[in-house]
Amino acid sequence: MSPITTHVLDIARGRPAAGLTVFIDYRDEKGGWEELARGTTNADGRIPDLLGDGTVLRAGVYRLRFATGDYFQSVSVGAFYPEVQVVVFLDDPAGHYHIPLLLCPYGYSTYRGS
């Protein structure tokens, strides 16, 4: 299993946000961002293999970028946020981090899942 997973729910439509692109980046020692992976949510709104099996994380700051504008355009809905960025500090390289996104056209919420 990927050490970082996500699940996106479109709470305005009452269903998973299928077909939404997610990028994961790592902040390097100079403060820049290195893209580690990208994926697209499946029919259940999940990306189970965002980072490959056996990927070892480094402790540090990570960013998940959700292409919400493209997603809402694909379902013919106008939206206020063209992209949602969730920046997190991951302190346990051996841990598993589940970072869900609850999404609607004019707002969003996220939390550390299990």
CATH code, domain with 44: 2.60.40.180
- Domain of 59, in residue numbers: 4-110
pLDDT tens-digit readout, 21-68:
999 999 999 999 999 999 999 999 999 889 987 788 999 999 999 999
Nearest to 62 by CA among 81, 35, 39: 35
Whole-number average pLDDT of the chain: 95
61-110 confidence digits (pLDDT tens): 999 999 999 999 999 999 999 999 999 999 998 899 999 999 999 999 99
Strands 4-10 and 101-104: parallel
pLDDT category of residue 12 using cuts at 50, 70 and 90? very high
* Under 8 Å between Cβ of 4 and 50: yes
Q: Structural domain tally of the chain? A: 1
pLDDT of 1 reads 79
Where does the chain show beta strands of DSSP type E?
4-10, 15-16, 21-27, 33-40, 46-47, 60-66, 84-90, 97-98, 101-104, 107-110
